[in-house]
Amino acid sequence: MQYVDIEQAINADGLRIVIVKAMPSAWGVAAKAMIEFKSLDFVCAHQIPMSDNPELLAWSGTNSGPVVAWNDEPPINRWDDILLLLERLAPEPRLVPESPAERIEVFGIGREICGELGFGWNRRIDLARPAEGEEPSVFAQKYDYRDAEAALANSRVIALMAELAARLKAQKEIGSDYLVGKSVTAADFYWAAFSNFVVIQSHEECPINPDARPMFENTPAEITASIDPILIEHRDRTMRKYYKLPLEL
């Protein structure tokens, strides 16, 4: 993989992705892995956490990763827009099934993991939760922290994990290791990346900023108690088969 600075990425042709530097930001981790799965040529630049990143903001309209751009098309940052671009650039190997029923499943699972009020959104809200009596941090304000949503975050995470575990068990009964159908889809890539929000991979597999690791290791006990082993088995199998390890952050 080729790293470039942000100005080079902005001015380059072809496919570019901007990811969060040295952090397991799951939206970018999954997008980059899917680009690599499809053997697409690309360059990678960094968004610097807790910085203004003015060049990135002026170019893409956001100070967050991932941002993906293709040639002179406008840069995009939504998980589903990125997935559809990758399917257009490299229709094979597929990450979205041809079957309408399975497409609905993949996009539904993707929405529940990646979208607003989804798994990642709720875990980020919990990570941003201020200590009692303190004001929300800059990080919390960036993602529109609200006490009412934070109060529901953990229960929403637990409910989705239960649904994914039940789905994996049902799939196992028909001889499939995957969340949808009988081959890998974007849904598997998303869960593998986002699972780091509840069980962070080892430093050897996920070499994040050491100062940030304690935050990711401090998963609430109620969530930890609700993690079915099949979820982490699926993560580890998907990571080792379809991702490049250690993760390049």
**HSE, side-chain direction, 13 A CA sphere, residue 218:** 10
Q: Can you tell me the distance from the alpha carbon of 74 to that of 60, in angstroms, rounded to the nearest whole number?
A: 8
User: What is the mean predicted confidence (pLDDT) over 120-124?
Assistant: 96
Residue 147: band (very low, low, confident or very high) from pLDDT cuts 50, 70, 90? confident
Output 150 or 107, whichever has higher pLDDT. Answer: 107
Assess whether pLDDT exceeds 80 at residue 22.
yes
Task: Give me the pLDDT at residue 143, please.
Answer: 77
Polymer length in residues for the chain: 249
Task: Give me the pLDDT at residue 104, please.
Answer: 98
Q: Which CATH class is domain 100-242?
A: mainly alpha
User: Which amino acid, one-letter code, is at 196?
Assistant: N
Please enumerate in sequence order all residues whose Cβ is within 8 A of that of 178, keeping only pairs 6 or more positions apart, or say none: 171, 184, 185, 187, 188
Residue 146: band (very low, low, confident or very high) from pLDDT cuts 50, 70, 90? confident
Residue 243: band (very low, low, confident or very high) from pLDDT cuts 50, 70, 90? very high
Residue 201: band (very low, low, confident or very high) from pLDDT cuts 50, 70, 90? very high
**HSE, side-chain direction, 13 A CA sphere, residue 184:** 20
User: Which amino acid, one-letter code, is at 106?
Assistant: V
User: What is the mean predicted confidence (pLDDT) over 131-139?
Assistant: 77
What does the domain layout of the chain look like in residue ranges?
2-89, 100-242
Task: Give me the pLDDT at residue 1, please.
Answer: 78
Residue 60: band (very low, low, confident or very high) from pLDDT cuts 50, 70, 90? very high
Alpha carbon dihedral 112, 113, 119, 124, in 10-degree steps, equals: -130
Task: Give me the pLDDT at residue 125, please.
Answer: 92
Task: Give me the pLDDT at residue 76, please.
Answer: 98
Does domain 2-89 bear CATH number 3.40.30.10? yes
For 7, 203, 209, 220, the CA distances from 215, given in Å and listed in that order, are 31, 14, 11, 11
Dihedral sign computed on CA atoms, order 30, 142, 224, 119: negative
Q: Is 100-242 in the same CATH topology as 2-89?
A: no
User: What is the mean predicted confidence (pLDDT) over 75-85?
Assistant: 98
User: What is the mean predicted confidence (pLDDT) over 46-51?
Assistant: 95
Dig out the tokens for 217 from the structure.
Answer: 């290791």
Average pLDDT of the residues of the chain: 96
Task: Give me the pLDDT at residue 144, please.
Answer: 77
Q: Can you tell me the distance from the alpha carbon of 84 to that of 34, in angstroms, rounded to the nearest whole number?
A: 11
Task: Give me the pLDDT at residue 114, please.
Answer: 98
Q: Can you tell me the distance from the alpha carbon of 20 to that of 64, in angstroms, rounded to the nearest whole number?
A: 7
For every residue of 156-214, DSSP letters joined together read HHHHHHHHHHHHHHHHHHTT--SSSTTS--HHHHHHHHHGGGTSPPPTTTS---TTTHH
Assess whether pLDDT exceeds 80 at residue 33.
yes
